[in-house]
Amino acid sequence: MRRFYGVFLALVLGLLLVAAGCGSKKEEKPAAAGGDKPKEVVLGFTGPLSGPAAEYGQDCLNGLDMAVKEINAKGGFTVGNQKYTIRLEKLDDMGDPTNAVNNARRFRNQYKTPAIFNPVFNAIAPMMRINEEKGNEFIIMAYTSTPKVVQMNNKLVVAVPPPFTVYCKSFVQEFIKEGAKNAAMLVTLGAYGDEWRAAFKSEWEKAGGKIVADKPANYYTETDFSAMITACLAAKPDVMLIGGPSAPTALVIEQARSLGFKGKFILVDQAKIDFIANILKGYKLLEGTMGVAAVQSYPYKATPGFDQKYRQQYNKQVTTSETPLNYISLYALTRAMAAAGTVEDPVAIRAAFPKAFPMSGDEFPVTYLGITDNGRMIPVASVQRVKDGKLAPPTSLIWHLKTEDEFKKFVAQQPTTSTYVFIPKTVEE
């Protein structure tokens, strides 16, 4: 009897083990596409969120924030079979290079951040001394138009806006063609302003013009530009190259007009023509001015919806170009991650960036065509004039092609009726 009971017990235990094994196999499910639960990737932003450039920094950050919210609301983005949502960590560096470097190290040490966004070249340059450290690499998403950022041979930099030399060449072509000869420069101090003045002087003189006055000024501290403007006007310029942050640039325009300047202004790309008009209560004082195009004038299908959504969500009267371009740059980064098959390897992600493009203006507020070999993303740049007290239609600048034939083929393929101007690819070589 005991023997029978032992055999019976062994049989029951065996059946239970088989059943348990079948149950565990039944519960095993293949991972769903995108993963059962999204993981999180942390990206960093360090920039001026206080101090004189705070508004500029916030406009850049808002564009990134808007893209993050959109991507996360859709459930994230897919890399391989895994979904990822984004957490954007932000730190204020007040535009100070030392703070920016410290913030970058903090992002890498604390979050293993694969990419860090920054919109000030004076801070980006020292960050470029640490972002290729072995085992501690990170991509710098550099919102700067200075050509130097891609001439420093850093293999982990992505420059977001077009180089300002594209605008410089366009401005010179336009005003020399109109018969302007003498130009005065009253541009912000610092590396960015110095580069702008040097580039403009070179292009203007090469085109047969003359620089009659050069009065750099600190647009971050000055509240009265009248002495410098008076010195410029004494040289009788036809045009004045001016600019730095938009608010003090508006003051320069107001004071120049009050001192009797009847000529035309050229704005460096940091100064936004529509933002200035908002400060000056209209375009009357800006007659003849040329600068980068206002976002509301971009000739893209997706721009009006983006503009309206942004101004409503962030309670803004004007959408500056910093916002849509930073917005697109974050989408480009996620596309590069998807193409690379990783959110952790900055080297692989940077190598995959060409696969993120093109990004059409039907879907995004600006068309991006690709990325140059040295790391500059290629948007179609746009410039605009003030004529008869209002903004004239913008002109699209095609700057990434080498020949007229390439340019003509490109224009023939465009669905829009925009005016296109060819700016030969000599700007960052």
Same domain for 201 and 88: no
250: closest CA among 214, 286, 222? Answer: 286
User: Is residue 128 domain-shared with residue 100, that is, in the same domain?
Assistant: yes
Note the pLDDT of residue 425.
66
293, 310, 330 - which closes a domain = 293
Check: CB of residue 79 under 8 Å from CB of residue 149: no
Q: Is 83 helix (H, G, I), strand (E, B) or coil?
A: strand
Element (H, E) at 105: helix 97-111
* Shared-domain flag, residues 153 and 268: no
Q: How much is the pLDDT for 19?
A: 41
The pLDDT averaged over each successive group of 10 residues in the chain (429 residues) is: 40 39 39 66 96 89 98 97 97 94 97 96 94 96 95 96 96 96 95 93 97 94 93 98 93 97 97 94 97 94 96 94 97 98 98 97 96 95 95 94 93 82 71
Q: Which residue has the tokens 């008076």?
A: 230
Residue 15 lies inside a defined structural domain of this protein: no
Q: Which residue has the tokens 């610092």?
A: 190
Residue position matching structure tokens 């193409």: 339
Q: Is residue 427 part of a domain?
A: no
Is the separation of the CB atoms in 161 and 137 below 8 Å?
Answer: no
Q: Reduced to 3 states, what is the DSSP secondary structure of residue 230?
A: helix
Q: Are residues 171 and 247 in the same domain?
A: yes
In the chain, the number of structural domains is 2
Burial class (CB in 10 A: 0-12, 13-18, 19+), 239: buried
168 with 280, same domain: the answer is: yes
Q: What is the pLDDT of residue 428?
A: 54
Pair (117, 141) in one structural domain: yes
167 in Cβ contact with 192 (< 8 Å): no
Tell me: do 270 and 234 sit in the same domain. yes
Q: Is the peptide bond before 126 cis (omega within 30 degrees of 0)?
A: no
Q: Model pTM?
A: 0.87
The residue length of the chain stands at 429
Does 126 reside within a domain? yes
In a domain, 283, yes or no: yes
Determine contact, residues 407/383, Cβ cutoff 8 Å: no
Q: Which pLDDT score is estimated for 414? A: 81
Report if residue 236 sits inside a domain.
yes
- How high is the pLDDT of residue 6? 44
pLDDT of 424 reads 84
The DSSP code for 366 is: S
Determine the Cα–Cα distance for residues 365 and 327; give it in Å rounded to an integer: 9
In angstroms, the CA 289 to CA 387 distance is: 8
Residue type, 382: S
Work out the angle at residue 294's Cα, subtended by the Cα atoms of residues 290 and 298, and round it to the nearest 5 degrees. Answer: 115
- Whether the CB-CB separation of 113 and 140 falls below 8 Å is answered with no
Q: Is residue 30 part of a domain?
A: no
- Is residue 243 domain-shared with residue 266, that is, in the same domain? yes
Question: According to the model, what pLDDT value does residue 35 have?
Answer: 46
CATH number at residue 139: 3.40.50.2300
Is residue 132 domain-shared with residue 224, that is, in the same domain? Answer: no
Q: Domain limits at 209?
A: 164-293
